[in-house]
Amino acid sequence: MLVSLFAGLLVAFSPQGSQADAPQGLTIVVVDVGQGDGIVIKAPNGTVHVVDGGPGGQGTIAMVPAISALQPTGYGFTFLSHFHEDHLGGLDEVRNALPFGTAYDRGDLNRPSNTGVNNYLAAAGVQRQQVTLGAVYPLGGGAQIRVIAYDGNILGGAFVDPTSSAQEENSRSLALRLEYGQFSMWLGGDLTGGGNSTADVESAATLACGDVDVYKMNHHGSNTSTSLNLVARLQPELAVVSCGAGNSFGHPTSTIVNRLNQAAAARALLSTTTGSASTIGFGVAGSIRIDTDGRRYRASATNGSFLDFFCDEVVTPVVAASELKISEVQRNPAIVPDTNGEYVEVVNVGSKPIGLRGVRLVAGASTVTLASNFMAVPGRPLLFQVDGARQRNGNQPLGMALPFGTLALGDTTDSVALQQNLTTLDSLSYSTGFPGGSGIAAERRDLFGAQSSANYAGAPNVYGAGDRGSPGAMNPSDTTLHPVQCAVVTSSDRFTLHATALDHSNYFSVLLLSFATAPTVPFNNAVIPLAYDSLFAASLGAPGFLAIHPPLGYRSVDVGWVPPQGLSGVTVYAAHVILDLNLMVPGLSPATAFVLP
């Protein structure tokens, strides 16, 4: 009875998509509106909402096309953080072009009066409402926005007088917390934090908000904002900033970038543009798209390159020494200066995605500790780069832009290591004669082999602006023989089957389940290490259990789970089988035991 019940559940539950793909649910786009803020939110039910609209003209030029690209099924709220042109100038254009509903803002206390404000008020019309402190506005599909602060009023009762500020209107900004599942994001307009004689509204507001995954930088990365208290209380894993290329304000400033992205707590930073062009330590992405299912999220650049993260509430195990490998080092680029073009590439060769929070990159005398919980998918390389701007780094793909001055590799002699806690995960020491050199990266041949000169080769392929290497892609010099692997991760409401076979893309990939490992199942040239029972038979027809193995060499099936009586706590076994077109088995994994949640 229990076996047939479980078999029925496998057929009934649809898989949620592979963790190699972008998560589905909530989408946020930080639109490149130049020097200003314009943010589009698509709720899981398809309804679109807007926070700020950029400066005048950008509503039509940038915001409306970004909204249309999301193919909304409905139009919800607009939120205006404060009455400054670079936030409200395009919002009337958005509202006049599309049928949005309620227009929320901070109200009329000491409201400026000018043409831009009048245009916004006319577009909002009778739909305009003042936000309510502490109110939770449902966006649809389980996503919501919570009002943390406005006009200096802070959730919980604190008040910071905006009139004491050198920038009163900025100090009056709305502070919003966007929430979906375990994902959270801070949207604070130009809220001030005490810098440049402004009122410190940030400290009380961030205390009321608490930890978030993503921080939209207040005031475009100005020194007025992003105080030490904000960083300590929000503890973001990703910070995003919208500012104009070559802007005259110095946004984002080196002080703020270095405060967020420092050696002891390195965070991923993404900017819509190069900013004032005087600061490095962040990636340049154009419009920044964030997709989340409430457990993980992906931040994508306009060109399609991306970074994956686990939400910070997701507990990931300590990385094993066998899982994370140094795969490529560019120690002496020729097309661009070393201070812009050096990188270290790492790759997960384990059986499932791993979280990199707490991993340390040790390069010579410098140590960088990751505060961002990067999600490293098997077979997908991740770059640690000195400069995240493609315009300056030789046109590398998006990676983790390291804190300023923390990676400076010797051209002929140096060392690189990956560590976590007391464990060295991988390390490389090189000296005169090591493969690679001027303009040529050193690529590892066998990821399981020794870190020696013989196990590296000079990169044969040209990338970007003309140096040789394969940053962010599998190495053409790679000769690694990878095992076929299977892993299972459980939580209270689901279990996820991870199928990894990095050498077998475009084969058939089959995931199988059984209540026992014996008697085993002979199949053509192989023996499947599971017993043929009703659960085995049911898994053959379960959604997503049979698929073409993707080019990356990794896929997963996420199965929703409501435990029937008697099944919670039962041990089940999983295996991953690779089939060719002749139904022969070029590879299969051992059986993996797991306990049903």
- Answer yes or no: do 392 and 334 share one domain: yes
CATH of the domain at 546: 2.60.40.10
Residue 584: other Cβ atoms inside 10 A: 12
Of 400, 424, 458, the one marking the end of a domain is: 458
Q: Which stretches within 261-368 are classed as H helix?
A: 338-341
pLDDT in tens, 119-149: 999 999 999 999 999 999 999 999 999 999 9
| Residues 382 and 501 occupy one common structural domain | no
* pTM of the complete model: 0.96
Tokens of 264: 């002891």
Within-domain flag for 310: no
Whether 393 and 428 share a structural domain = yes
What pLDDT does residue 591 have?
A: 98
Answer yes or no: is 317 within a domain: no
Specify the DSSP element, H or E, that contains 260.
Answer: helix 254-260
pLDDT band of 558, cuts 50, 70, 90:
confident
The H-assigned helical ranges of 519-573 are 534-540
Cα 543 from chain centre: 27
Residue 311 maps to a domain: no
Cα–Cα nearest to 107, from 81, 87, 68, 141:
81
The span from the CA of 22 to the CA of 24, in Å, is: 6
The answer to whether residues 285 and 403 belong to one domain is no
Q: Specify the pLDDT at position 563.
A: 61
Report the candidate in 243, 299, 275 with the shortest Cα–Cα distance to residue 33: 243
Is 90 exceeded by the pLDDT of residue 319? Answer: yes
Task: Give Cβ neighbours of residue 422 (< 8 Å, ≥ 6 apart).
Answer: none
Q: Note the pLDDT of residue 277.
A: 85
If asked whether residues 430 and 494 sit together in one domain, one would say: no
End-to-end CA distance of the chain: 19
- Please compute the mean of the pLDDT values over residues 477-499 and round it to a whole number: 93
Nearest-CA neighbor of 35 among 282, 306, 271, 290?
Answer: 271
Rounded mean pLDDT, 217-234 = 98
Judgement on whether residues 81 and 201 belong to the same structural domain of the protein:
yes
3-state secondary structure of 511: strand
What pLDDT is attached to residue 84? Answer: 98
**Residue 43: DSSP 8-state:** -
Q: Could you tell me the two tokens for 383?
A: 């770059």
Residue 446 has a pLDDT of 97
Tell which residue, 188, 247, 265, 258, has the closest CA to residue 223. Answer: 258
Overall number of domains in the chain: 3
β pairing state of 128-130 and 143-150: unpaired
Using CB atoms within 10 A of its CB, is residue 66 exposed (0-12), middle (13-18) or buried (19+)? buried
Cα dist from 287 to 11, 149, 283, 502, 513, whole Å: 39, 26, 12, 32, 43
For 429, phi and psi rounded to 5 degrees?
Answer: -120, 135
Mean pLDDT of 227-254: 97
Q: Indicate if 447 and 493 belong to the same structural domain.
A: no
Q: What are the pLDDT digits (tens) for 74-102?
A: 999 999 999 999 999 999 999 999 999 99
The label of the residue with tokens 């936000």 reads 131
Does 38 lie in the same domain as 6? no
Residue 79 is encoded by which pair of tokens? 């939120």
Q: For residues 120 and 90, what is the distance between their CA atoms, to the nearest angstrom?
A: 9
Q: Specify whether 436 is located in the same domain as 513.
A: no
Interval 202-207 mean pLDDT:
98
Write down the pLDDT at residue 565: 56
Q: Is residue 301 part of a domain?
A: no
User: Token pair for residue 128?
Assistant: 């305009």
Is residue 60 in some structural domain? yes
Is 421 a member of any domain?
Answer: yes
554 and 412 share a domain?
no
Helix (H) or strand (E) holding 146: strand 143-150
* Mean pLDDT of the 455-478 span: 96
Domain-embedded: residue 59: yes
Domain-embedded: residue 464: no
- Inter-CA distances, 114 with 89, 170, 382, Å: 11, 16, 48
Contact 74, 47 (CB under 8 A): yes
**Cβ atoms of residues 486 and 511 within 8 Å:** yes
Separation between Cα atoms, residue 190 and residue 88, nearest integer Å: 12
Identify the band that residue 12 occupies on the pLDDT scale cut at 50, 70 and 90: very low
User: What backbone torsions phi and psi does residue 187 show, to the nearest 5 degrees?
Assistant: -130, 105
The CATH number covering residue 136 comes to 3.60.15.10
Report pLDDT for 17.
72
- Res 483 pLDDT > 80: yes
Residues 514 and 584 in one domain: yes
The β-bridge relationship of strands 521-523 and 526-528 is: antiparallel
Q: What is the largest CA-CA distance in the chain?
A: 80
Structural contact between residues 213 and 184, judged by C-beta atoms closer than 8 angstroms: yes
14 pLDDT band, cuts 50/70/90, is very low
Q: What is the pLDDT of residues 146-163, one digit of tens each?
A: 999 999 999 999 999 999
DSSP bridge pairs for 587:
578
Q: Which two tokens stand for residue 457?
A: 């080769």
| pLDDT value at residue 516 | 97
In DSSP terms, which residues pair with 414 in a beta bridge?
430
CATH no. for residue 451? 2.60.40
pLDDT value at residue 566: 62
563: tokens are 């435990």
- Percent of all residues in the chain with a pLDDT value above 70, rounded to a whole number: 96
Instruction: Report the b/e string of 322-336 with b at 16+ CB within 10 A.
Output: ebbbbbbbbbbbbbb
Model pLDDT for residues 20-68, shown as the tens digit of each residue = 999 999 999 999 999 999 999 999 999 999 999 999 999 999 999 999 9
Cis? peptide before 483, omega within 30° of 0: no
Per-residue pLDDT tens over the stretch 507-553: 999 999 999 999 999 999 999 999 999 899 989 988 899 999 999 99
- Strands 128-130 and 103-105, by their bridges, are parallel
563 or 164, higher pLDDT: 164
Spell 265-284 as b/e; 16+ CB within 10 A means b: bbbbbbbbbbbbeebbbbbb
For residues 521 and 540, the answer to whether their CB atoms sit within 8 Å is: no
Q: Whole domain around residue 344: which residue ranges?
A: 324-458
Q: Do 245 and 116 belong together in one domain? A: yes
pLDDT, averaged across the chain:
95
